[in-house]
Amino acid sequence: MTDQAIRHDWTLNEVHALFNQPLNDLLFRAQSMHRRWHAANTVQISTLLSIKTGGCPEDCKYCPQSIHYETGLDAHALLPLEDVVAAAQKARDAGATRFCMGAAWRSPTNSQTRKVSELVAAVSELGMETCATLGMLTADQAGQLAQAGLDYYNHNLDTSPEYYGEIITSRTYQDRLDTLAHVRTAGMHVCCGGIVGMGETRHDRAGLLRQLANLPEHPESVPINNLMQVEGTPLHGTEPLSPLELARCVAVARILMPKAVVRLSAGRTELSEEAQALCFFAGAGSIFCGDQLLTTPNPSFDADMAMFDALGLAAAPAGQ
């Protein structure tokens, strides 16, 4: 397959047609696509650290870090450099090749951006890929992070443009697209996906993936997050998404964005090993390892390694 086969002009009807295929046909097509662009049976291991927790003024209905909801979260200010470096070293020694840093800001101040840039530079010196999610960025802030050596910037679209207002009202869809454009202009890789299981329809899941696939450049990294329901947030009690539908989402993302690494991200504690195996077959090529994501639980490292062993999967080497 050549780059000419990678499209940015998908119609919603075409994406729906992918979703509506018999599952075996969809998975076969997705796995075939995956093997054309990615090493078979390898999964990248990333680790996520909340470097600043809680106190976010946004009203994202899924997020326990919002000041609008009572979730019992233990908030903390920006972690000192030595704590972040120690966490990154521990993750590297356990086999992680990418270290992701998350801060609960609507958008960082210039002073906060400088401090995070210092963290990025220190983690880069350990030989790890770096990723950060800090909220909305200006063009100058994106440039500063890129200069510090940030490899990836995560800024999810979350859901379709049509359903977005049901989930968030404190920033617009265009705000998110503007940050992605600043990240691209600065020369960083884009990590951008969404959350499924928030009460949206398949139409919205198709709309999200179409939006991602029709960006001028596909994100290099596409996280598919299965909603982690947290008591106190408005989405607590939402009907969970079927694991088979989650696998369909992964498969469609793989087909639409062949060169991207599709990441099976949050919500794996709600999935059986069999459901996760289906997602790997559908084209997921990365997971977060470690007992906790930003503020929600995650399978233990030992459990993940046991699953890899049972499935015949191997951790991808750095740079893959």
Catalytic residue among 29, 92, 98, 131: 131
Tell me which residue of 106, 105, 97 sits closest to 129, measured CA to CA: 97
Backbone angles phi, psi at 106, to 5 degrees: -70, -45
Q: Is 297 exposed, middle or buried (0-12, 13-18, 19+ CB in 10 A)?
A: middle
Active-site residue flag, 60? yes
Active-site residue flag, 192? no
Catalytic residue among 29, 171, 176, 191: 191
Catalytic residue among 29, 98, 100, 210: 100
Catalytic residue among 98, 248, 263, 268: 263
Backbone angles phi, psi at 214, to 5 degrees: -100, 10
Residue 77 burial (CB count, 10 A): 11
Tokens of residue 174, six digits: 């265009």
Active-site residue flag, 249? no
Catalytic residue among 29, 63, 254, 279: 63
Catalytic residue among 29, 56, 205, 248: 56
SS3 content of the chain, % helix, strand, coil (to 5): 40, 15, 40
Under a CB-based contact definition with an 8 Å cutoff, are residues 214 and 244 in contact?
no
Active-site residue flag, 131? yes
Active-site residue flag, 191? yes
Active-site residue flag, 100? yes
Count Cα neighbours of 304 within 13 Å in the Cβ-side half-sphere.
26
Active-site residue flag, 184? no
The catalytic site residues sit at: 56, 60, 63, 100, 131, 191, 263
